[in-house]
Amino acid sequence: MLKFIDHNIVFQEVPNEVSLAINISNCPLRCKNCHSPQLQEDIGFCLTQDAILYIIKKYNRAITCICFMGGDSEPLEIEKLAIFVKSITPKLKIAWYSGKQKLPKAFQIKYFDFIKLGPYKGKYGGLDSLDTNQRFYKIIDNELIDMTFLFQKERI
């Protein structure tokens, strides 16, 4: 069972969207220079369908996107939750921030609008770095379209 430690409204993780970010714990990736080491612990509340429903209702029309932050220990659970969210609020966009460089086998991207891939590596920087190993994709017609450039400013 996936667990989450908290949730908050964010504006930068998904460009042009007001996102409800759900911060999922038990991250298996152990990146050096992890920005949130507490997310590596198996702590928090169970991320059930009821929990998601409660959180979405709380923010109601204030959000345009729900963003699952993490969940690499059980990616197929993320997929199931995305299917659930689409079934109850088809207009809400769905994003997933994964720390893995590749998608899991048989993962169905059609339930998502955005997916970020790649662990955080300090020497390459995050999505706003021109050297980053991370990629941010928009899903269009079941294809991953690289939109990482939206986070980046050109080198002067």
Task: Give me the residues that bind ligand SF4 (CB under 6 A), please.
Answer: 27, 29-31, 34-36, 39-40, 70, 99, 119-120
Q: Which is nearer to ligand SF4, 30 or 58 (CB)?
A: 30
Q: Considering the complex, what minimum distance in angstroms separates the CB of residue 97 from ligand SF4?
A: 8
Phi, psi of 107 (to 5 degrees): -70, 135
Q: Considering the complex, what minimum distance in angstroms separates the CB of residue 30 from ligand SF4?
A: 5
Q: Which is nearer to ligand SF4, 82 or 119 (CB)?
A: 119
Question: What DSSP string runs through 59-119?
Answer: HGGG-SEEEEE--TTSHHHHHHHHHHHHHH-TTSEEEEE-SSSSPPTT--GGG-SEEEE--
Q: Which is nearer to ligand SF4, 98 or 111 (CB)?
A: 98
> Residue for token digits 């809400």?
92
